Homo-oligomer: A and B are copies of this chain.
């Protein structure tokens, strides 16, 4: 069946959550949002492009930082309201310079940092 991004379920802002997972390590690196055009552009260019809710603009991941994401595989969930992107990440995915945005764990009621920023 041909994939039609119009058949996905978007929220009231026209967005769908996209989870970025490292294709090699399996680590979940970040979650961001896409609209229909960002999906089309990501599939065409294989360079992951989100929609920035704060800037209200397309966000070609790594365009300024160089920390690009190359699309390896694109998946849709059973409800068609969430995406899973298998990607090859150059440099850190997080704007804090950590490999993943999920560097804070909650253990025994306390927040602890489980990942340091990368050097450079």
Contact = CB atoms under 8 A, between A and B. Distances in A.
Interface of A: 1-3, 17, 19, 21, 25-28, 30-31, 43, 73-79, 82, 84, 94-96, 98, 101-107, 109-111, 114
A85 to B, nearest CB: 10
A21 B17 contact: no
A94 to B, nearest CB: 6
A31 B82 contact: yes
Given A2-B110, A3-B109, A19-B31, A104 B82 contact: no
Question: Max chain B CB contacts within 10 Å: which of A28, A94, A103?
Answer: A28
Given A27-B26, A78-B101, A101-B78, A107 B73 contact: yes
Contacts of A28: 19, 21, 28, 84
A1 B101 contact: no
Contact of A75 (B26, B78, B96, B104): B104
